[in-house]
Each structure stands twice: as C-alpha cells, then as structure tokens.
Structure 1
Amino acid sequence: MKTVFFVRHAKSSWDNPSLSDRDRPLNARGLRDAPQMGLKLKQLNANIELIVSSPAKRAFTTATFFAAALGLPLDEIVLEPRLYEAMSEDVISVINGLSDEYKVIAIFGHNPTFTFIANLFTEDYIDNIPTCGVFKVDARINSWKEFGENSGRLTAFYYPKQSLL
C-alpha cells in the first residue's frame, strides 16, 4: 500500500502585481492556515516520509510549514519544476518516478489540477480543493510506477474552514 497526500498551496497574496506568478508569497490567511493544516496532519499521524513541492513560492512556503509541523527537515523538501503549471498526467508522472522506499508522500501544488486529480480517485464529485486543502489517496500498489487513476481511492479530504468548525 502507498499513500499520497495532495496539498494545494495556502492562500497567496496579490498585493504586489509586479511579481511573477511563480514568486507570489502567502498572504496573512495562508500564513495562518498552512501551519494549522500541517498540525492537523501530525495529529492524524500521517507519517509522511517525503515532501515534493512545486517551486512556486506559495507552494514551497506551504510545504515548509507542513514539514516543520511534521518534524521533517526543510532541506529535504524536493522541488519539482514539473509540478508548476502541471496537468494531472505531469503530477502522476512525478509520482511514478519516486523511489519505492517511500510508503507515504505529500505533493504540494496547484489548482485546477489538484481538483481534477481528486476527482480521478472518488465517485463523489468535488467541486474545488480550497487553498491549503488536503486530500489523501490510498493505493493498493507496491511500486509508485503503478500509481494512476485506477490504482487507489480518495479516503480523506480536509481543508482549513473545517478545522474552524
């Protein structure tokens, strides 16, 4: 069994229109939500062994908050350029290339791709993965090379406004 936690980056700032999309930082809400959602995964005993992130500043910053909450070294976060502006096939290809030594991973990236991927693994329609939303896919596979649309199912879905209830 292999498990993937897909994490959409936290809310980003549009305060500086001269910044490139790739360089946009998190806004105040994102800076609040990312640590809280990282702690939620820690409380759920997510046991994440590897974090792979889009190189966009908002995704990487989100990943660093999760790594800190989970007790993972920040310098071991893998930056993967193919996750920025990725299609679902690109994300799955990144996962397919991972070492089988890892059983539980987290992928940090962007919408609309993550919402599309979530819907590949569930019979229930998910309209949108909100910022800093996390969904978990459990796959009955032995190798990441086998990960794909029919290899697993969405078993959990969390987002910041849930934790405020």
Structure 2
Amino acid sequence: MKTLILVRHAKSDWPEDTDDFDRPLADRGLQDAEKMSSYLKQNNVEIEKFVSSPALRALSTCNIFNKSYQIEVETNRKLYNANENNFESVIYDLNDDVNSVAIFSHNNGISNFANMISGDIFAFPTCGVAGFQVDCESWSDFESAKKKLLFFYEPKKI
C-alpha cells in the first residue's frame, strides 16, 4: 500500500517584472504553509519524500513543509505547468522503498490530476492538500491501482 499526497503551492505574490517561474510566496502563503505543514505533522500524516516543482512558489512551500518533516526533497521540472501525464511520469520514477510521497505543484494541473485519479471534483485552493491511498506495492502499478481519497484539507478550514 502506498500513500500519495498532492499539495498545491501556497498563495503567491506577483511582483512587477517577475517571471511566473520566479514568483515568491505572499505573506498569507507563508502563514498557510506553516499552518498546513504543522497540521499534517500533528495529525500523524506520514511522508517519506517530497517532490516539488522547481518554481519558487512551489519549492518555497515544500521547504516550509520540510521544517516540520526534515526529509528528502527532490525537484522535478515535469511538475511545472504539469498535465496529468507529467504527474504519472513523476510517480512512476519513484523508488518502491518510498511508501508515502508528497508532490508539490500548480493549478490547473494538480486539480485535473486529482480529478482524474479520484473521480471527484477538486478545486484546489492555494496550499490545499489531498491524500490518497494507492493499492499497490510498486509505483509502476499506479495507473491500474485502486485509489481512495483519505483526506482533503484547505488552509481556511483547519
């Protein structure tokens, strides 16, 4: 059994003359990421590895979560402007020793991917987190594995 956690980056800012890739987190984003990561840790949500888009707002969110978890962080360019296939590709590349992973990415891709694997309608708010149980022993079996939504958390509701 595997656990997949999808995290949309926290609220970002868009300073003048800043490329999309280099957008920093807004003050609210910094607070929401701290709050959400603490909430997950306090509720015993186990995560063994983080994989993040290298875009500043996603990686900053990931790094804030890592203050609570202090685990391996990997960046993967496929998670920036990702479509559903990009998420699957990142998942297939995971080592089977990893039983729980959190993936940090962006909308619309993260919402579309969550919708695809769950059949539910997701609209991820910034710093929204969805956890799925994946009934497989190997990440390579992800596509055909049964998936079950375990939780969906929004910063404003915790």
Shorter chain as denominator, the TM-score bin is: over 0.9
Aligned mate of 1:148, from 133, 137, 143 = 143
When the two chains are superposed, the root-mean-square deviation of aligned CA atoms in Å is 1.3
- Secondary structure, in 3 states, of the residue corresponding to 1:7? strand
Contact 1:121 1:149 in 2 (8 A): no
Q: What is the aligned partner in structure 2 of residue 4 from structure 1?
A: 4
Q: Residue 53 of structure 1 contacts residue 83 of structure 1 at CA under 8 Å; is this kept in 2?
A: yes
CA–CA distance in structure 1, aligned partners of residues 97 and 106 of structure 2: 26
Give how far 1:44 is off: 1.7
Alignment TM-score, normalising by the size of structure 2: 0.95
TM-aligned CA deviation for residue 21 of structure 1? 0.5
- Matched residues, percent identical? 42
Task: State the aligned residue count.
Answer: 158
Counterpart-to-counterpart distance in 2, 1:147 and 1:51: 18
Distance 1:123 1:84, change over 3 A: closer
Q: Could you tell me which residue of structure 2 aligns to residue 115 of structure 1? A: 111
Which residue of structure 2 lines up, in the alignment, with residue 92 of structure 1?
88
Contact 1:137 1:152 in 2 (8 A): yes
- Higher mean alpha-carbon deviation, 142-151 vs 39-48, is at 142-151
CA–CA distance in structure 1, aligned partners of residues 155 and 8 of structure 2: 11
Q: Is the 8 A contact 2:83 2:113 kept in 1?
A: no
1:149 CA displacement: 6.6
Q: Which letter does structure 2 place at the counterpart of 1:116?
A: N
State the Cα distance separating 1:46 from its structure 2 match.
1.3
CA apart distance, 1:150: 5.1
CA distance in 1, matches of 2:144, 2:37: 26
Q: What SS does the aligned partner of 2:118 have?
A: coil
Task: Give the whole-Å Cα distance in 2 for the aligned partners of 1:62 and 1:81.
Answer: 16
For 1:89, give the aligned amino acid: N
Amino acid at match of 1:138: Q
* Aligned-partner Cα distance in 1 for 2:87–2:146: 15
